[in-house]
Chain A
Amino acid sequence: MPRPLTLLPALVSALVALWFAGFIPEIAAGEVLTWSRPWIPGAGIDFAFLLDGLSLLFALMVTGIGAIIFLYSAVYFKGHPKLTMLLVLLSLFAISMLGLVLADDAITLFVFWEGTTITSFLLVGFDHEKEKARDNALQALIVTGLGGLALLAGLILLGAEAGTFRLSEMNAQGELIKASALYLPILILVFLGAFTKSAQFPFHFWLPGAMAAPTPVSAYLHSATMVKAGIYLLARLTPALGGTDVWFWTLTIVGAVTMVWTSILALKQTDLKLMLAYTTVMALGALTMFLGGGTRYAAMTVAVFLIVHALYKAALFLTVGLIDKGTGTREVNQLGGLARVMPVTLTIAMLAALSMAGFPPFIGFIGKELIYEASLGVVTEPLFVATAALLANANMVAAAGLVAVAPFFGKQCQTPKTPADPTPWLWVGPALLAVLGLTFGVIPSLIDSSIVTPVVQSIIPGEKPVELKIWHGVNLPLMLSLLTFGLGFALFYGRAQIRSSLQSENFTGGLDANKTYFLWLKAFKSFAAWTARTVQGGQMTVYLRTAFVVLGLLIWGAHLSSRDPFNPSAEFPDLIPLTICLLIAVSAAVVLRTGSRLYGLTALGVVGAGIAILFVFYSAIDVAITQLLVEMLVVLILAVALVKLPTMPREVTFRAGDAVIASALGLGVAFVLAAVVMKPFDPRITEFFNAASYPEAFGRNVVNVILVDFRALDTLGEVAVVLIAAISAVAALTAGKRALAVKKEGDK
Chain B
Amino acid sequence: MNSTILKTATRLLLPIFLIASILILWRGHNQPGGGFIGGLMAVIGVALYAIAASIDEARRRLRVDPLVLAGVGLACSVLGGLWGSAAGGAFLQGVWPFYEYVSGEGTKGWPIGSVLLFDTGVYLTVLGAVCAIIFALEEAVFAEREGSR
State the A residues within 8 Å of B (CB).
Answer: 621-622, 625-626, 629-630, 632-633, 636-637, 639-641, 643-644, 694-701, 703-705, 707-709, 712-713, 715-716, 719-720, 722-723, 725-727, 729-730, 733-734, 736-737, 740
Contact = CB atoms under 8 A, between A and B. Distances in A.
Contacts of A630: 40
- A700, A727, A733: most-surrounded residue (chain B CB, <10 A): A733
23 contacts: A622-B32, A622-B34, A625-B33, A630-B40, A632-B44, A636-B47, A637-B134, A639-B51, A643-B141, A698-B101, A699-B30, A699-B115, A700-B30, A704-B28, A707-B35, A707-B36, A708-B29, A716-B118, A722-B129, A723-B70, A723-B74, A726-B130, A736-B143
Given A633-B40, A697-B94, A708 B122 contact: yes
A297 B67 CA distance: 64
B125 A736 contact: no
Contacts of A737: 139-140, 143
B78 interface: yes
A636 B48 contact: yes
Contacts of A736: 140, 143-144
Contacts of A705: 29
Given A629-B37, A701-B33, A736-B143, A729 B101 contact: no
A719 B73 contact: yes
A621 B121 CA distance: 22
Nearest to A729: B133
A713 B37 contact: no
- B30, B36, B41, B138: most-surrounded residue (chain A CB, <10 A): B36
A719 B121 contact: yes
Given A622-B33, A637-B134, A740-B147, A701 B28 contact: yes
A695 B96 CA distance: 13
A716 B77 contact: yes
Nearest to B34: A704
A708 B133 contact: no
B140 A637 contact: no
A704 B122 contact: no
B43 interface: yes
Contacts of A698: 29, 94, 96, 99, 101, 107, 111
A695 B103 contact: yes
Interface in B63-112: 66-67, 70-71, 73-74, 77-78, 81, 91-92, 94, 96, 99, 101, 103, 106-107, 111
Contacts of A708: 29, 34-35, 94, 115, 118-119, 122
B29 A640 contact: no
Contacts of A697: 94, 115
Nearest to A629: B40
Interface of B: 28-37, 40-41, 43-44, 47-48, 51, 66-67, 70-71, 73-74, 77-78, 81, 91-92, 94, 96, 99, 101, 103, 106-107, 111, 115, 118-119, 121-122, 125-126, 128-130, 132-134, 136-145, 147
A637 B40 CA distance: 13
Contacts of A725: 129, 133
A730 B143 contact: no
B134 to A, nearest CB: 6
B141 A641 contact: yes
A699 B106 CA distance: 10
Contacts of A629: 37, 40-41, 44
A352 to B, nearest CB: 52
B140 A734 contact: yes
A626 B47 CA distance: 17
Contacts of B36: 626, 707
Contact of A719 (B74, B99, B141, B144): B74
A640 B1 CA distance: 10
What 10 A-B pairs have minimum CB-CB distances, sorted nearest first? A726-B129, A699-B29, A733-B136, A629-B40, A704-B34, A712-B92, A621-B32, A700-B30, A733-B140, A730-B136
Contacts of A713: 81, 91-92
Contact of B145 (A644, A699, A703, A719): A644
Contacts of B103: 695
A716 B37 contact: no
Given A622-B33, A700-B29, A733-B139, A709 B41 contact: no
Contacts of A716: 77-78, 81, 92, 118
A221 B134 CA distance: 48
B43 A633 contact: yes
B139 A700 contact: no
Nearest to A719: B125
B74 A701 contact: no
B67 to A, nearest CB: 6
B37 A622 contact: yes
Contacts of B140: 733-734, 736-737
A639 B137 CA distance: 11
Nearest to B146: A740
Nearest to A705: B29
A640 B30 CA distance: 36
Contacts of A632: 44
B115 to A, nearest CB: 5
Contacts of B28: 701, 704
- B29, B35, B132, B138: most-surrounded residue (chain A CB, <10 A): B29
Contacts of B145: 643-644
Nearest to A630: B40
A699 B66 CA distance: 30
A533 B106 CA distance: 60
Contacts of A734: 136, 139-140
A733 B44 contact: no
B34 A707 contact: yes
Contacts of A643: 141-142, 145
- B125, B133, B137: most-surrounded residue (chain A CB, <10 A): B133
B98 to A, nearest CB: 11
B144 to A, nearest CB: 7
- B34, B41, B66, B103: most-surrounded residue (chain A CB, <10 A): B34
B134 A636 contact: yes
Contacts of A636: 44, 47-48, 51, 134
Nearest to B35: A708
A23 B143 CA distance: 68
B94 A709 contact: yes
Nearest to A735: B140
B39 to A, nearest CB: 9
Contact of A722 (B33, B70, B142): B70
Contacts of B43: 633
B77 A704 contact: no
Contact of B77 (A625, A699, A719, A726): A719
A733 B139 CA distance: 8
Nearest to A639: B51
A708 B37 CA distance: 13
B138 A640 contact: yes
B38 to A, nearest CB: 10
A726 B67 contact: yes
Contacts of A727: 67, 132
A733 to B, nearest CB: 4
A644 B142 CA distance: 8
A639 B81 CA distance: 38
A701 B30 contact: yes
- B78, B106, B138: most-surrounded residue (chain A CB, <10 A): B138
A726 B70 contact: yes
Contacts of A622: 32-34, 37
Contacts of B133: 637, 725-726, 729-730, 733
Contacts of B29: 698-701, 704-705, 708
Contacts of B130: 633, 722, 726
A626 B40 CA distance: 8
Nearest to B84: A712
Given A716-B92, A730-B67, 12 more contacts: A626-B37, A637-B134, A698-B101, A699-B29, A704-B29, A708-B94, A713-B92, A715-B118, A722-B125, A723-B74, A727-B132, A736-B143
